[in-house]
Amino acid sequence: MEALFEPASRKARALHSLDSSPGLYALYLKAGAALPGVDVNSDSPIYICKADGAGGLARRCHFRGGTRNHSPRKSLAALLRDELELEVRAFQNRADNSFKTWGLTPASEIKLDQWMHANLLLSVALTPAAAALEKALIRTWVPPLNLTDCQQTEAHLAISRLRAEMERGARNLC
């Protein structure tokens, strides 16, 4: 299973040509890059996810905008909020204006995009068995940005707390 994300396959997002094929993807920190409060080396993935729905890999590998619907971007935003001076925003239900979720302001989305392109590598593995492999890989690697389906380390708990703070801040904007 670990061979799915060979070191040679890890490259900048811009060097990947992604389409609607199903598969798995993993995010890695570039050598020398760091995340506050996360102790991981460049050989260990910081996030693993399947892409087996509509749009496949092209739709799931978010290196541009879309924090409100993308779990690893929310975790990165929570970890990098102070360093990048990220600003949260609330998204509301159209029907009743109640709080729906949180994301980042457009300017903050751009800052996070830039950080991701500068500091992360992407690895993809084309496979129709993505769903079956995803959980096993998460249990094996215990990536810090995967907040479910693995052992909860102190880093996982800290990220969950930071994300809850971001959500509280967004709720206060409603």
What Cα–Cα distance (Å) separates residue 121 from each residue in 5, 30, 160, 174? 11, 6, 23, 36
63, pLDDT greater than 90:
no
Mean pLDDT, the chain, as a whole number? 89
pLDDT value of position 3: 62
Lowest mean pLDDT: which of 15-24, 82-91, 102-111, 148-157? 15-24
SS3 state of residue 23 = strand
Instruction: Please say whether the beta carbons of 38 and 21 come within 8 A.
Output: no
> Which residue matches tokens 């703070």?
165
* Maximum distance among all Cα pairs of the chain, rounded to whole angstroms: 49
**Cα–Cα distance measured from residue 141 to residue 119, given in angstroms and rounded to the nearest whole number:** 20
pLDDT digit string, tens, across residues 91-143 = 999 899 889 999 999 999 999 999 999 999 999 888 888 888 999 999 999 99
Where along the chain do its domains lie? Answer: 2-171
**Cα–Cα distance measured from residue 45 to residue 16, given in angstroms and rounded to the nearest whole number:** 17
